[in-house]
Amino acid sequence: MAVKPRTLREAQTTYSTNSELAWWVFMRVSGLALIFLVFGHVFFNNLAFNAGEIDYTYVARRFSRSWVKVYDTFLLGFAMLHGVNGLRYSIEDYVREPGRRFWAKVALYTVVGVLLVLGTMTLWAFSYEEMGDAVRAL
């Protein structure tokens, strides 16, 4: 912009579409959604089932169901974005030196980007029905 805001009122008008405000709102909205998504996830896989018995067959059976793919996509997306923004807050609080802060963020966004792609592939690139009736009969 040509002229920098010099008063609080000018700043508020100028930065009314501030991305920090959007992230602030997102943390609360996604947090609320994640309470239901994560509690459900923990209930299905740790309480309704013995997590110590989880194996390939169990996960393949889950991922062969459409509703699990959709449910886990929302879980993955909300959790990763909520998590990456929380880690960004932490980096900005504790990594004060600008160079180190920059590279910490580059590393964070790289890892999260790769894992978002990996997670989405895991959910959608395979039908997990290669075991056929053996999976569906469980």
Partner 1 sequence: MYRGREGQWAFVLHRLSGVALALYLLLHVLDISLVMYGPEGPFNTFLAFYHQWPFRVGLILVMAAVVYHAFNGLRIILMDFTDWGTKYHRQLWYGVLGATTVVGIPVLLKVVPEILGVGHGG
Q: Which of 11, 21, 22, 54 binds partner 1 (CB under 8 A)?
A: 54
Count of residues near partner 1 by CB under 8 A: 40
CB 100 within 8 A of CB 114: no
Please list, in sequence order, all residues whose beta carbon lies within 8 angstroms of the beta carbon of residue 28, skipping any fewer than 6 positions away: none
Please list, in sequence order, all residues whose beta carbon lies within 8 angstroms of the beta carbon of residue 5, skipping any fewer than 6 positions away: 11, 13, 14, 15
Query: Whole-number minimum distance, CB 78 to partner 1, in Å?
Result: 11
Site for partner 1 in 10-49 (CB under 8 A): 28, 31-32, 34-35, 38-39, 42, 46-47
87 binds partner 1 (CB under 8 A): yes
55 binds partner 1 (CB under 8 A): yes
130 binds partner 1 (CB under 8 A): yes
**Amino acid identity of 92?**
E
Nearer to partner 1 by C-beta: 11 or 121?
A: 121
Buried b / exposed e over 57-94, threshold 16 CB at 10 Å, is eeebbbbbeeebbebbeebbbbbbbbebbebbeebeee
- Residues in contact with partner 1 by CB under 8 A are 28, 31-32, 34-35, 38-39, 42, 46-47, 50-52, 54-57, 59-60, 63, 76, 79-80, 83-84, 86-87, 90, 111-112, 115, 118-119, 121-122, 125-126, 128, 130-131
